[in-house]
Chain A
């Protein structure tokens, strides 16, 4: 069964550094998302992306964050100048038809900021 793949599975970085989290969505899906989950807390929406542009973003997704689809398969989340509170699991997700079809998640990247 097709799946969303994310790399790396774990990223450790120092405060102030930039990180790029990578995702390969399911190939026929057109809508892409990033979610965040702080340990023990609920899944939080960050951003949605369709037709090569951001369609919606949350209050969490400030100027520190950016997304890009650099080619036909990858979808990336960049976090500039990381802070301690950015430590979390970051999940990429995709859906075929947006909110009229189910959301499929990757296994996440665990980001640890020291």
Chain B
């Protein structure tokens, strides 16, 4: 079983739709959760960073963490064509100095004008 599972899509929605992106994980020790947006041939750009369970909102973006279900979500409201990108989830335990960032495979999103 992979540490982090993410549906690769592709996901296609009309402009203005609400988008829901999700990841599940197996390690209950994960405490820090990140969402990245990656445009083609660019580096992943940090969108949201949350610690433990709960919601965090930033503009049109809302990140949710449900540790009991080992499930995280990113919601995009009023989606725009500029939101078309690949979205990566990532998470970490939060201790140690080594490679403890675990990434999903990414979900490809297209927002159609």
Contact = CB atoms under 8 A, between A and B. Distances in A.
A104 B49 CA distance: 11
Given A42-B103, A58-B99, A89-B41, A102 B93 contact: no
A56 B43 contact: no
Chain A contact-residue range equals: 20 to 34
Contacts of A106: 43
Contacts of B97: 31, 48, 50-51, 55-56, 98-99
Given A42-B105, A48-B99, A58-B99, A105 B94 contact: no
Contacts of B45: 105
A104 B46 contact: yes
Interface of A: 4, 6, 31, 33, 42-43, 45, 48, 50-51, 55-58, 89, 91, 98-108, 110
